[in-house]
Amino acid sequence: MNLIIVESPTKAKTITRFLGDNFLVESCQGHIRDLPKGKLGIEVENDFTPQYVIPTKKRKIVNQLKKIAKKADQIYFATDEDREGESIAWHLDYILKAPHSQRIAFHEITSEAIKESLKSPRKINLDLVQAQQTRRILDRLVGYKLSPLLWKKIFKGLSAGRVQSPAVRLIVDREKEINDFKPQEYWSLQAELMAQEKIIWANLIKKNNLRIEKLDLKSKKQIEEIIKDLTKATYVIENIKIKEVQKAPRPPFITSTLQQEANNCLGFSTKQTMMIAQQLYEGVPLGEKTNTGLITYMRTDSLSLSQKFINESATLIKKEFGSDYQQTRHYQSKSKLAQEAHEAIRPVSCQYPPDKIASYLNKNQFKLYDLIWRRALASQMSNEILESMAVDIKAKEYTWRANGLTIKFLGWAKLYPEKQKENLLPLLKNGQVLALKKLHPSQHFTEPPGRYTEASLVKTLEKHGIGRPSTYASIISTIQTRNYINKKGKALFPTKIGILVNDFLTKHFPEIVDYKFTALLEDQLDQIAQNKKEPLKILQEFYQPFIKEVKMKEENIKKTFKDEETDKICPQCGQPLVIKTGRFGKFLACTGFPECRYTKSLSDENGNSVNEKIDIPCPKCGGEIVKKRTKKGKFFFGCSGWPKCDFALWDEPVAEKCPDCDSLMVKKGEKIVCPQKDCPGKKKQKKD
């Protein structure tokens, strides 16, 4: 019997269908060993040796795998082919102590890929394991040495991270730019002209052949003087430039571009995008009990495509659109790390077009798969051909510009359309006089830089070299969970706590939040994976100055926050209450701590009462519904009578009952809906 071990049960289920009865596929459900919780778990004086433990929740899985492994003739570790996957395989090998173990890897879960990987097994790549281990040690050193200092000097519950802190800094710095921004007034002037009874819009671009820059026209007075100069002016076409423009398709998705496009086009968070992509990669049932993998591995920074997919897509494009629309393209990979240079994210096969399998996918799976499908196929299509026309119009000493655009051939845009509209101009010629209908002055003000969205933050993290494809989603998720960042719509805002922690780190530990320093560490991890750097040297170079700085700051920095005295008395023990500041705002706490643990929330991050009343009676007990916050900082709506009454909702309830199941309705964006999954009206509403 041959045993194959993968990370997830879904992946195991999908792979099982491709193998015979002499193969057993089991899941380890992710990492089976990690550094211990509650202590550093690194022997710093012993060359930074990590003290790995098996988490309690993983012991049952490990014991099961040990029993199965004893009976296996051959063991294959088929975890993902990246640092994390290689590390999981290494830990499995250590625990199972299997003499007949080998490593296999594949970038898509198909019969062909699985069987091909079994033909060429390899040893575990220890360089990748070392890179992952070094990253884990660095993150633990920063977190466990710096976070306690934040607790002492600011307040408990705060944390710092090697990668999360620079990400918070980006958002805090952008907020400061916005707050410091002073708008400048400027004006523009458009001419509404007529030719062959068609309107032509032209913008003022020059005076005396000198270009008018954006901020040159600063006042209404300047515009009025120009309009006065143009009284009775004749508008004559001075020059017409026509040129053909060819636009190549964008390359297929890598992790960062998929996260950006899914956020911009579909409104998905980075975490949501990766979760859905994982489902599509591991496999979904297509009208049968067994699963089918639909996309290649979703954590990649490679732009390459297999020749098999290029050939398949060429055949499909010619069949669906015609040979004029097909053009084979090979993209240059941007990956710095050869071992992690998988393919780009693409469909595993052209035999699964989105429309054909739509009924087997949920709404979000379909949206993401459709996006990946169209982007990958469009990358193998012909250029879009445009004809642009620039018409310069002279009126006295002023020059105006009218622009036209005609789409001559859609090419790839037929499959992956972008927001681009034609602007057809009438037939024009040099020396032609145009009739002025009206001049349109417009007042403008310069605008501050936009706040980061998850899409633009990923783009900036990638630009600065902070993190890697597999970490962007977790970085953004972590800084929101820790209440350093809030999300309103798509925009990311720093919280007061986020600004406070960032200012502290920027002032006292500038290297930790320095973009170049963080990127340098990432590059060094890449070099470990390529066997070009020694892990111990990198750890020593980082840790010695870092811990020296921590100890010095611990002695010299004064505590930022002190408890505020109140005249209130603890209702549980009768001792005085004080106001403390925590991750989620201010709260009352008993001075008798730790013997008395009484606390009461005062306000949330924005100064609002956390347990504010909703003025809707609890449908279970008739008590009050209040807005509360979980330990992780997420808001929900529950009964004030908890724990006697366990009524709770994630969405804000309204004073309206569902006509189909009599439950309280809730707000979902601009809609009022029933929150019950098994409500009989749900199917009817969906059908309508």
Would you give the end-to-end CA distance of the chain in angstroms?
53
Phi, psi (degrees; rounded to nearest 5) at 417: -65, 145
Vertex 426 angle, CA 425 and 428, to 5°: 105
Nearest to 231 by CA among 91, 1, 395: 395
Instruction: Clarify whether 235 is annotated catalytic.
Output: no
CA-based angle 302:450:201, to the nearest 5? Answer: 100
- Indicate the angle between helix axes 126-153 and 515-529, nearest 10 degrees: 150
Catalytic pick from 186, 297, 416, 452? 297
Helix (H) or strand (E) holding 628: strand 624-629
Q: What is the DSSP letter of 73?
A: S
- The H-assigned helical ranges of 246-345 are 255-261, 270-282, 307-321
Q: Strands 284-285 and 235-247: what pairing?
A: unpaired
| 212: CB partners within 8 A, 6+ apart | 204, 205, 206
CA-wise closest residue to 371 among 395, 403, 346: 346
Which of helix, strand or coil describes residue 36? Answer: coil
Distance, in Å, from the CA atom of 330 to the CA atom of 334, rounded to the nearest integer, reads: 13
Residue 253: name the closest of 317, 297, 308, 316 by CA: 297
Q: Which helix (H) or strand (E) holds 322?
A: none
- Contact between 35 and 66 under an 8 Å Cβ cutoff? The reply is no
Helix then strand then coil, in percent of the chain rounded to 5, is: 35, 25, 40
What one-character DSSP code corresponds to residue 325? G
C-alpha atoms less than 13 angstroms from C-alpha of 362 in its C-beta half-sphere: 7
**SS3 for 366-435, per residue?**
HHHHHHHHHHHHHCCECCEEEEEEEEEEEECCEEEEEEEEEEEECHHHHCCCCCCCCECCCCCCCCCEEE
Structure tokens at 53: 């433990």
Q: Containing H/E element for 565?
A: strand 564-569
Q: Distance (Å, rounded) from C-alpha 258 to C-alpha 477?
A: 17
Query: Tokens 């009484």 identify what position?
Result: 598
Residues with catalytic roles: 297
